[in-house]
């Protein structure tokens, strides 16, 4: 995708925006496909071992998004672990997938492309969005 407007384009002719998947970022940087990755890339241990990060410009927290009537079920780690047949939709990388699966082995974790998929799903299709 080429820069089509805005202050970066006028100051840096030839500057291009190239879409990337966060799970492929290290390999694409190593292959020289681009020089910088930006877009709120989560800092993980494997990424810290292979790339340099700037100072954070935003801090986020990992959380579950659930229907309001189910919020008490998800209020503590212990209560979440007691939910049988837990189905969690997830949009985040493989790194967090493995961590969540280890933490909640009873859960079925289903990758989705975007949060919109969770909000537009049939009621009951997922218990939570991580």
Please, are residues 73 and 113 in contact by the beta-carbon 8 Å criterion? no
What confidence category does residue 47 fall into, taking pLDDT thresholds of 50, 70 and 90? confident
pLDDT of residue 4 exceeding 50, the answer is: no
CA-based end-to-end distance of the chain: 29
Chain centroid to CA 107 = 18
Cα separation, 28 vs 31, in Å, equals 5
Greater confidence (51 vs 104) lies with: 104
Cα separation, 27 vs 33, in Å, equals 9
Res 75: pLDDT: 94
pLDDT of residue 1 exceeding 60, the answer is: no
Q: CA angle at residue 59 from 53 to 60, to 5 degrees?
A: 115
Residue 95's nearest CA partner among 103, 85, 87 is: 103
- Section 90-110 average pLDDT: 87
pLDDT of residue 10 exceeding 70, the answer is: no
- For the chain, give every domain's residue range: 7-50, 68-129
pTM, two decimal places: 0.65
């Amino acid at each position: 995708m080429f820069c089509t407007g805005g202050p970066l384009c006028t100051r840096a002719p030839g500057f291009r925006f190239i879409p990337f998947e966060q799970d492929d970022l290290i390999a694409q940087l190593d292959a020289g496909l681009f020089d910088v990755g930006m877009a709120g890339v989560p800092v993980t241990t494997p990424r810290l071992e292979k790339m340099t990060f700037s100072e954070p410009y935003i801090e986020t927290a990992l959380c579950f998004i659930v229907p309001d009537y189910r919020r008490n079920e998800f209020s503590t780690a212990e209560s979440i672990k007691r939910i049988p047949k837990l189905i969690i939709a997830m949009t985040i990388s493989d790194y967090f997938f493995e961590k969540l699966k280890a933490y909640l082995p009873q859960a079925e974790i289903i990758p989705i492309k975007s949060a919109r998929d969770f909000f537009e799903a049939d009621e009951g299709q997922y218990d939570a969005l991580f």
